[in-house]
Amino acid sequence: MKLSDSITRLPKVGPVYLKRLEKLGIIKIGELLTHPPHRFMDFRKIAKIKHARVGETVTVLGKLNFIKNQYSKTGRVMQLGEIEDDSGKMKILWFNQPFLVMTLKRGLTMCFSGNVEFFGRDKALITPEYEIGDSFIHTGRLVPVYPETYGVSSKWIRSKIAFALKVGKPEIEDHIPPTDLSKYDLVGFKDAIYALHYPKDDEEFQKAKRRLAFNEFLTLTLQSIFRKDLWKKNKALYKIKLRNKEIKNFKNNLPFVLTTSQELNIDEILSDLGKDTPMNRLLEGDVGSGKTVVAATAIFAAFLDGYQSVIMAPTQILASQHFQTLNKLFEKYKIRVKLITSNEKKGDIGKADVYVGTHALIHRVIDSERIAVIIIDEQHRFGVEQRSHLVKKSGKGNRVPHVLTMTATPIPRTIALTTYGDLDLSILKEMPHGRLPVTTWIVPAKKRLHAYDWIKKQIDADHIQVFFICPLIEESEYETMKSVKAAMSQYADIKKVFKGYKVDILHGKLKSEEKDLAINGFKRGKTDILVSTPVVEVGIDVPNATIMVVETAERFGLAQLHQLRGRVGRGTKKSYCLLMPSSGERFVSKRLEAMRTHHSGFELAEIDLSIRGPGQIFGTAQHGFFELKNASWSDTELIKLTRDYAEHVIDNKPRYKDLLNSIVGEGVGLN
């Protein structure tokens, strides 16, 4: 068995399990074997029945004398059995698991692990873990408990891992030489994999995790160094001559004064545009920090020198918003901005200087154009392939356009260096002047009506507008229908409550013209309240909207809540965010409390790290973003160590040929 083999090599793992396991990110044997337990049950103490004491957690090995269903006075069904070893007998007891009577036969030799308690006057193991025989997979040791998913229990995972390790005997090659292992105080790869699932104590487990974490960081780091190397082999498709006077004029004529950060970032970007090596830059700035105008300046510079640009947005809604924003910013110049919609066939699309569209549509324009700059907005919503596809397609061989990717995901610098080490980084550190923090309230069910009245008063007094976000329901085709339904009923309710106000609805199943109508109506102030599924999450900019209401707020992740709240507080008016937990929710979650007390995306990202734990980066759950399994983004020390090692590896490529091949693929070589 190889680590690269499919998990379908394991007995009784077919398409159904494959699908379930995919949810846990497990497709290959290697991924199963590095899937870390999140805790252990300590069943290490093995005892003779006679010596097992009440209050202890023990494992006993014995013969099953009987097992039967028994009904309690209250009608509960329990499974009562008796086990015996050469020292004595004891009872075992489960509740509501009648199938046990079918699967466990008297006379079987079995192991049981659990707490010894009194059952009447007898000693008994209550709801013990059990297994037939004495292979000590589910009993008799530190028994791992894994993150589970629907239809995949910890016990199931345990037995598959046991099979893979004991029967499959996988070839586990360590590409890190022993001298390096001792230098970095790392255990061997094979030992780490066994100890992850069969540790003798916590220390051994932690060492295993550390080694596997090292592998994860090393993979990320080397891959990004490799991408950087590859990128450097490209030539800029078009070098842009900067017309500084006109650019300065453009900036001076904006309806606002640029922030210092915006100025700095614009300078960095413009200087990239004139270079031989194409720009490959990540512009990171919190929600509402003003990334669009930075991108617009790059587009403007390209236009002045006679070139086209392209903006790729994750949704049609955002694409049309960019279209409008750019039209406004470029009003005084003869810049033709073109929005690609699904109505236009390839070939019908007229000439323009800037094309805006979603990934699905943007390809229709780029074949024959002189595209000097590509802007990718909300980069975390796109896969790596979508991005590189667009870049390749708009380039000519190794001559590619300048690429600016933008994200509101507040990735701390250490993390950015590891995952996006190939990209140059520009950060918008401050918000535009005059922004007030959005006051955030957690509104319990009993204050809901009160809140509605308050909202009415705000609309009456100041003609402000309100976003009303519907309950979050998980995504899937079926769930989309459900969430549309939820949105419709919410819409009906809100219309009743807000009689006399103009209420509109926005959800994913509307046709794109209907969506535009809803958004534009809201933007022009024709609608007071826009009821919406969480689709407004990214990017929408309506400065007069100053109240954001989020239903079932406890179901949203911090990143999503932060994005939603970022929809308000974009003008100079005081804004509010009302988080409304489901009526059954009695506890205010840490997340909602964090929203109330914190406003910066970076701080919320840190909190998210500490609440949710280690693997995921704030707001990047979707779209195949590399998820850490054993490593933690808060482990800055190991991140640094790995970067050291990665550099050492790169400096000594021949010696690390196998390691490099295993990470960046055979034959790429890293010259």
User: For Mg ion, what does the binding mask look like between residues 490 and 529, x meaning CB under 5 A?
Assistant: ----------------------------------------
Token pair 């009784």: residue: 12
539 binds Mg ion (CB under 5 A): yes
Determine the residue with CB nearest Mg ion: 539
CB of 285 to ligand ADP, least distance (A): 5
278 binds Mg ion (CB under 5 A): no
By CB under 6 A, name the one of 81, 128, 140, 290 that touches ligand ADP.
Answer: 290
Neighbours of 475 (CB within 10 A): 12
The one segment of 70-78, 116-124, 257-265, 340-348 that binds ligand ADP by CB under 6 A: 257-265
* Contact call for residues 144 and 44 (beta carbons, < 8 A): no
| Residue 299 in tokens | 């587009």
Q: What is the dihedral of CA 423, 429, 432, 436, to 10 degrees?
A: 130
Backbone torsion region of residue 403, taken as left when φ is above 0, otherwise alpha when ψ lies between -120 and 50, otherwise beta: beta
List the single partner that 541 binds among ligand ADP, Mg ion, none, CB under 5 to 8 Å by kind.
Answer: ligand ADP
Determine the residue with CB nearest ligand ADP: 290
By CB under 6 A, name the one of 37, 288, 401, 615 that touches ligand ADP.
Answer: 288
The residues facing 374 across adjacent strands are 310, 403
CB of 428 to ligand ADP, least distance (A): 7
List the single partner that 290 binds among Mg ion, ligand ADP, none, CB under 5 to 8 Å by kind.
Answer: ligand ADP
d(CA 280, CA 426): 11
By CB under 6 A, name the one of 218, 337, 400, 408 that touches ligand ADP.
Answer: 408
432 binds ligand ADP (CB under 6 A): yes
Counting beta carbons within 10 angstroms of the beta carbon of residue 446, is it exposed (0 to 12), middle (13 to 18) or buried (19 or more)? exposed
List the single partner that 543 binds among Mg ion, ligand ADP, none, CB under 5 to 8 Å by kind.
Answer: ligand ADP
- Count CA atoms within 13 Å of residue 250 on its CB side: 27
409 binds ligand ADP (CB under 6 A): no
d(CA 541, CA 517): 15
**Considering all CA atoms of the chain, what is the largest pairwise distance in Å, rounded to the nearest integer?**
95
259 binds ligand ADP (CB under 6 A): yes
By CB under 6 A, name the one of 170, 285, 357, 569 that touches ligand ADP.
Answer: 285
The 402-407 sheet, strands edge to edge: 337-339, 354-358, 308-313, 371-376, 402-407, 280-285, 424-428
CA-closest candidate to residue 357, choices 392, 329, 382, 332: 382
Neighbours of 12 (CB within 10 A): 11
CB of 576 to ligand ADP, least distance (A): 18
d(CA 640, CA 663): 19
The residues facing 118 across adjacent strands are 123
List the single partner that 619 binds among ligand ADP, Mg ion, none, CB under 5 to 8 Å by kind.
Answer: none
289 binds ligand ADP (CB under 6 A): yes
The residues facing 505 across adjacent strands are 531
581 binds ligand ADP (CB under 6 A): no
- Count CA atoms within 13 Å of residue 248 on its CB side: 3
285 binds Mg ion (CB under 5 A): no
The one segment of 161-169, 216-224, 288-296, 628-636 that binds ligand ADP by CB under 6 A: 288-296
Instruction: Measure the CA angle with vertex 518, ends 515 and 523; round to 5°.
Output: 120
CB of 631 to ligand ADP, least distance (A): 30
* Contact call for residues 421 and 221 (beta carbons, < 8 A): yes
| Residue 430 in tokens | 């401050």
CB of 431 to ligand ADP, least distance (A): 8
d(CA 639, CA 213): 9
Q: How many residues bind ligand ADP (CB under 6 A)?
A: 19
Token pair 């707020």: residue: 553
Comparison of 317 and 366: residue with beta carbon closer to Mg ion: 317
The one segment of 179-187, 290-298, 397-405, 635-643 that binds ligand ADP by CB under 6 A: 290-298
User: For ligand ADP, what does the binding mask look like between residues 504 and 543, x meaning CB under 6 A?
Assistant: -------------------------------------x-x
d(CA 432, CA 436): 10
570 binds ligand ADP (CB under 6 A): yes
CB of 283 to Mg ion, least distance (A): 10
DSSP state, residue 59: E
Comparison of 139 and 379: residue with beta carbon closer to Mg ion: 379
601 binds Mg ion (CB under 5 A): no
The one segment of 62-70, 284-292, 337-345, 438-446 that binds ligand ADP by CB under 6 A: 284-292
265 binds ligand ADP (CB under 6 A): no
d(CA 374, CA 283): 13
Contacts of 378 (CB under 8 A, 6+ apart): 313, 314, 318, 406, 407, 408, 538, 539
* Contact call for residues 626 and 220 (beta carbons, < 8 A): yes
DSSP state, residue 291: H
3-state secondary structure of 435: coil
291 binds ligand ADP (CB under 6 A): yes
The one segment of 149-157, 238-246, 413-421, 538-546 that binds Mg ion by CB under 5 A: 538-546
CB of 23 to ligand ADP, least distance (A): 31
Comparison of 219 and 292: residue with beta carbon closer to ligand ADP: 292
Comparison of 376 and 390: residue with beta carbon closer to Mg ion: 376
426 binds ligand ADP (CB under 6 A): no
262 binds ligand ADP (CB under 6 A): yes
By CB under 6 A, name the one of 7, 258, 455, 649 that touches ligand ADP.
Answer: 258
| Residue 610 in tokens | 């500490």
User: CA 240: distance to chain centroid?
Assistant: 36
CB of 317 to ligand ADP, least distance (A): 13
CB of 214 to Mg ion, least distance (A): 36
Comparison of 258 and 578: residue with beta carbon closer to ligand ADP: 258
d(CA 202, CA 194): 13
Instruction: Measure the CA angle with vertex 529, ends 523 and 533; round to 5°.
Output: 90
Site for ligand ADP in 293-332 (CB under 6 A): 293
d(CA 403, CA 310): 10
CB of 278 to ligand ADP, least distance (A): 23
Comparison of 358 and 552: residue with beta carbon closer to ligand ADP: 358
Q: Which residues bind Mg ion (CB under 5 A)?
A: 539
Q: Which residues bind ligand ADP (CB under 6 A)?
A: 256-259, 262, 285, 287-293, 408, 432-433, 541, 543, 570
